[in-house]
Amino acid sequence: MMNPQDTAPFCIAVALPPHLKSLVERLLQGVLREQADADARWCLGDAGSADVVLRLHGDGTQAISPNLLADVRGRDGRRHSLTIEGVWRSGAMTAALTRIASLIGSEPATAKPLLALQWLQRWSELRRQFPAAQLALQVGGRLVALLGTRQATLQTMDRELTATPDTLIAAMARDGWTLTPVGSDAAAPGASLKPLLWQLGLLAGSLGALPALQSAAALRLKGWPYLAAGGHRSFAELIRHLRSGDNNRASLLALQLAPRNVVDGFLNACAVCEFFHDDTAAPEPRASATPAISAAAQPADHAAIAAIRRTLGLVRP
């Protein structure tokens, strides 16, 4: 992922020969670091789930092509092709990304945070009801993984779609998802589900801290949460203050170590990954009036978002 501290609304894949792929990816990283527009954010993904795929222009026989072809998939399902001329100039790539983003179509700023909160609600509800079960995760009506509730594991059925948490989240936001029990948790354990839970917790921070975190008198980490590595620069300080058990959400916000959404996202992520000691109140998401199984969130005005927050008990102090 190019910008691991932020949520990337768009996913891009580079389908080029290896010697060109690394060059283009480094160029993209440099371009994105220089962009001042925080809404123009991208993550690297796989061609099967990406919003845009960069390919060689022409028949692909040239060792080095001066131009690239961008295959773009819009939010409305339409597909577009865009030629990027002079791709090796950062200005050309910057202009191309802006044009591609407009072709894809924007999504509400609350779409992925709402998806994250709804997903965590559904996961927590099913884990309480079925403490030793397998859950089928479907995306776009297709089974992509089996999740074990006993040890929070993931057995993938679609390696491309589940390659990274960001790739999977982007696919769920685009194509919709369901999470349903299908049997007992008796199969061989899979990979840890915590990387996905961590990313969903961070995303949900844009809507606030989970209810139990808002009321907890003290929060104490069991150790150093390994998934925080490479995250926001404030994470190290937040961890230091949470190791003693003398802080809670209110005291951390008062320290002004990071924006509220970053602090809340970090606390959410630590909670859903069970990095807090057991004497911390279990941070189960509160039931909401919004569907727990949803397709990509639809645009809403400020009044609707405020109503959702009130329903979820996420009104900020």
| Residue 152: per-residue pLDDT | 93
pLDDT classification of 286: cutoffs 50, 70, 90: very low
| Residue 59: per-residue pLDDT | 54
Quick: pLDDT tens for 149-200.
999 999 999 998 899 998 999 889 888 999 999 988 766 678 999 999 999 9
Quote the Cα angle for 291-296-300, to 5°.
Answer: 80
What is the DSSP code (8-state) at residue 86?
A: T
Show me where the domains of the chain are located: 10-104, 111-312
Tell me the fold of 10-104.
Double Stranded RNA Binding Domain (3.30.160)
Residue 49 tokens, joined? 């789930």
Quick: pLDDT tens for 140-151.
999 999 999 999
Q: Rounded to an integer, what is the distance from CA 291 to the centroid of its chain? A: 19
As a 3-state breakdown, the chain gives helix, strand, coil percent values, each rounded to 5, of 40, 20, 45
Q: Is the pTM of this model over 0.75?
A: no
Mean pLDDT of 12-34: 82
Helix (H) / strand (E) element for 56: namely strand 52-56
Interatomic CA distance for residues 202 and 211, integer angstroms = 15
Is the pLDDT score of 299 beyond 90?
no
Quick: pLDDT tens for 91-101.
677 777 777 87
